[in-house]
């Protein structure tokens, strides 16, 4: 790296490490979520999971792909195209999407661990 100061080289090294750690964390998170898929699919019955989504929500797209890939029974409504869905979303006062309702319990965001926990039989 001709012409780069020692400080510039150090900053580039730190940036590379930060990006690598972030990528590793994302890979681990995705792998863990996929490992949960079959267990969630076995627990979820039709009507147990409802996702209130938005067309512009990237987390909604990730959640939908995960549900489909793992054959998890769920329903989805979109606030931009479904007036009843938009009313439900507004009534719940959620700050964003996806709002995933699991057996009547609301979860903001996509969290496979939380979904699995909400599907577990209650003692």
What average pLDDT does the structure give for the chain? Answer: 85
Strand order in the sheet with 99-102: 75-78, 49-53, 99-102, 105-108
- Binned at pLDDT 50, 70 and 90, residue 6 comes out as confident
43-58 pLDDT, tens digit each:
999 999 999 999 999 9
68-87 pLDDT, tens digit each:
999 999 999 999 999 999 99
Name all domains of the chain by residue range, CATH numbers in brackets.
Answer: 6-119 (3.40.30.10)
- Binned at pLDDT 50, 70 and 90, residue 25 comes out as very low
Say if residues 51 and 75 touch (Cβ distance below 8 Å). yes
DSSP-derived letter for residue 45 is -
The pTM of the whole model exceeds 0.95: no
In angstroms, rounded to a whole number, what is the distance separating the alpha carbons of residues 47 and 41? 13
- Reply yes or no on whether the pLDDT at 32 is more than 80: no
Tokens of 71: 């054959």
């Amino acid at each position: 790296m001709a012409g780069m100061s020692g400080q510039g080289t150090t900053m580039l090294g730190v940036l590379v490490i930060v990006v690598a750690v972030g990528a590793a964390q994302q890979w681990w998170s995705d792998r863990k979520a996929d490992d949960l898929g079959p267990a969630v699919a076995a627990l979820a019955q039709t009507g147990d999971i409802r996702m209130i989504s938005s067309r512009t929500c990237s987390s909604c797209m990730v959640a939908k792909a995960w549900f489909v890939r793992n054959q998890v029974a769920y329903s989805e409504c979109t606030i931009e195209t479904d007036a009843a869905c938009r009313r439900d979303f507004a009534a719940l006062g959620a700050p964003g999407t996806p709002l995933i309702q699991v057996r009547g319990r609301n979860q903001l965001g996509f969290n496979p661990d939380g979904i699995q926990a909400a599907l577990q039989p209650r003692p």
